[in-house]
Amino acid sequence: MGVQTPWEMRMRVRHFAAAALGAALAVAAVGATGASGGSAANTLTVWLQNDAQNGWPDLVASVNSQFEKSHPGWNVDVQYQTWPTHLQKFDATLAGGNAADVVEMGNSEMTKYMAAGAFQDLTANKSDFDNSNNWLAGLAASARYAGKLYGVPYIAGSRVVTYRTDLFKSAGISKLPTSLAAYTAAAKKLAAKNNSEGFSPVYIAGTDWYVAMAFVYDYGGKIAITRKGKWIGTLDKPAALAGLAAFKKFFDVASRASKTTIETRPWPYEPYAQGKVASMIGSSWFSCCVGDKYKSVTKQFVMPSHTNGQPMPGFAGGSELAVPIGADKAAAVDWIAAFTSTESEKVLQAKGNVPNATNLLGNSVNERAARKTWFVPTAKNWVNVENGNILRTMLARILTGKMTIKDAAATASDNIAFTLNQP
């Protein structure tokens, strides 16, 4: 910047001030118009997770146009949310009294909001939804509170084993494992054949409690049960301990992942795509991201139980659609009915999701896996158990040997009971 006289500078300042004043007036004008009435009354606001935006935007668009055709004067405003922050935003809109008309919730997020009275009762509308008598048991249960229905199952995910056919073949595994013991033996063969640094025959993140609890439920254990209205932690019971012991044994043989890391850091398919993994346990959509190199040699099978020929129960994760209080219930129900119709669910199924009802289930690997599932205790404080990382802490202690299985499980069990019984 060259030499300026004060006068020139003053001029610039004056322009600056004028611009500022203009902007201020513009904002003031905006503020003034803000007071005069809201937007069109007939807007149905729908909050979906951005999985829909990335995966099946066409379905959303066609359901919207169908809805708008059958509801003249209405338009649908779909606002995509992200999983990490949607609850905080939802809380704010609840407090502000302008929540959306339809919101997508993770099924493990439902209980707390149902208990607090955030949603409208849909019990009387149940028959409006296709296949509502055959909804997947896990999803249907997490949409029900105190005998009433507050959510409509939308999609489910299932957990399967994604594996490299070429590596299984070269390790001499001709038959896919049908029991945990067979899978363990296969893992040993894979390890012997592939001895590069950090190679995992079966990649499991150390604190992936979704996998670990599947072992617990497979051995007949549970995380917690209610008795006389009080929660009791049951991870220290013999069946659960057997499951945890089996998990540790399997992990030690099969996984070279960090014993302290979570299942999204890295995602299991990241080392898989790097060629460092022969198989991984997790969501069926993991096959999306195994890398171009391995796409053609990647297949899936159902995670076997310790009982030969049985599947191991997988976490019944999924989404529900709920109608917050204050929303236009009739319109919301119509939109949900269209979005979860048999036709729509077939589209979702084609995108690799598990549809919401048993009569729609096909025979693909992920749909077979969805037939046997487990779910977290439906307690309103369960979220706090997850936030408190009680299960993850327990798993890290067990796998690193900092505590015996028994002690770690007993500590976790006490913590869980304490948390769930908080008022």
Partner 1 sequence: MTTATETTSAAATAAAQNGRRAALVRRERRRRISRAAWNLVGLAVFAVMVFPVFWMASTALKPDSEINSFTPTWFSTSPTLDHFRDAINRPYFWDAVKNSLIIVGVTVVLSIVLAFLAAVALAKYRFTGRSLFVVAMIGILMLPQVGLVIPLYVVLAKYHLTSDDPKRALTAVIITYMTFLLPFAVWTLRGFLLGIPKELEEAAMVDGSSRLGAFVRILLPLVAPGLVATSVFVVITAWNEYIFANVLLTNQSNHTLTVWLSYFTGSSRNTDWGGLMAASTLTAIPVVIFFLLVQRRIAFGLTAGAVKG
Partner 2 sequence: MPSSQVPDGTEVVVEVTPSWPRRRSPLTRGRALQGALPYLLILPVLVVIGAVLGYPLYKLVTLSFQRYGLFELIQRQGEWIGLDNFSSVLHDGVFWHTLERTIVFTIVNVGLTMVLGTLIALLLVRVSTWVRVLLTSGLVLVWSMPVVVAVQIWFWMSNFQNGILNHVLTQLHVGDFFQHDWYATTFSKLAMVTLLIVWGAIPFVTITVYAGLAQVPRELVDAAEIDGAGPLRVFRDVTFPILKPIFLILTSLSIIWDFGVFAQPYLLISPSNVDASNYLMGVYVYIEGYAQTNFGRGAAISLLMVVMVAAMSVFYVRRMVRMKDVQ
Residue 266 binding partner 2, by CB under 8 A: yes
Q: Of 57, 59, 70, 47, which is closest to residue 334 (Cα–Cα)?
A: 70
Residue 407, interface with partner 2 (CB under 8 A)? no
> Kind of pairing, strands 373-374 and 314-315?
parallel
> Residue 238 or 291: which CB sits closer to partner 1?
291
404 binds partner 2 (CB under 8 A): no
152 binding partner 2? (CB under 8 A): no
Nearest distance from C-beta of residue 264 to partner 1, angstroms: 9
Residue with tokens 């053609």: 296
CA–centroid distance for 204 within its chain: 17
Binding site for partner 1 (CB under 8 A): 1, 6, 9-10, 12-13, 16-17, 19-21, 23-24, 26-27, 30-31, 33-35, 38-39, 49-51, 53-55, 77, 79-85, 88-89, 91-93, 95-98, 267, 269-270, 273-276, 285, 288-289, 291-293
Q: Which stretch binds partner 2 (CB under 8 A): 66-74, 187-195, 211-219, 379-387?
A: 379-387
Task: Tell me which of partner 2, partner 1, none is bound by residue 291, counting a contact when its beta carbon lies within the kind-specific cut-off of 5 to 8 angstroms.
Answer: partner 1
DSSP state for residue 288 in the 8-state scheme: G
Distance from C-alpha of 97 to C-alpha of 334, rounded to nearest angstrom: 22
In the shown chain, the binding pattern of residues 85 to 114 toward partner 2, with x for contact by CB under 8 A and - for none, equals: --xx--x--xx-x--------------xx-
- Number of alpha carbons in the 13 Å side-chain half-sphere of residue 375: 24
Pick the closer one to partner 1 by CB: 247 or 315.
Answer: 315
> What sign results for the dihedral spanned by CA atoms 419, 97, 54, 149?
positive
Closest to partner 1 by CB, 147 or 197: 197
289 binds, among partner 1, partner 2, none (CB under 5 to 8 A by kind): partner 1
- When asked if residue 120 is in the footprint of partner 2 (CB under 8 A), the reply is no
The values of phi and psi at residue 121, to 5°, are: -70, 125
Q: Which partner from the list partner 1, partner 2, none does 166 bind, CB cut-off 5 to 8 Å by kind?
A: none
Q: What is the DSSP string of 214-252?
A: HHHHHTT--SEEEETTEEEE-TTSHHHHHHHHHHHHHHH
Q: What is the rounded (10 degree) CA torsion for 95, 101, 105, 109?
A: 30
Cβ-based nearer residue to partner 1, 55 or 206 = 55
260 interacts with partner 2 by CB under 8 A: yes
Q: What is the DSSP string of 289-343?
A: GS-TTTGGGEEEEPPBPSSTTPBPPEE--EEEEE-BTTS-HHHHHHHHHHHTSHH
Name the site residues for partner 2 (rule: CB under 8 A). 1, 3-6, 9, 84, 87-88, 91, 94-95, 97, 112-113, 115-118, 197-198, 256-262, 264-266, 270-271, 274, 276, 325, 383-384, 386-389, 392-393
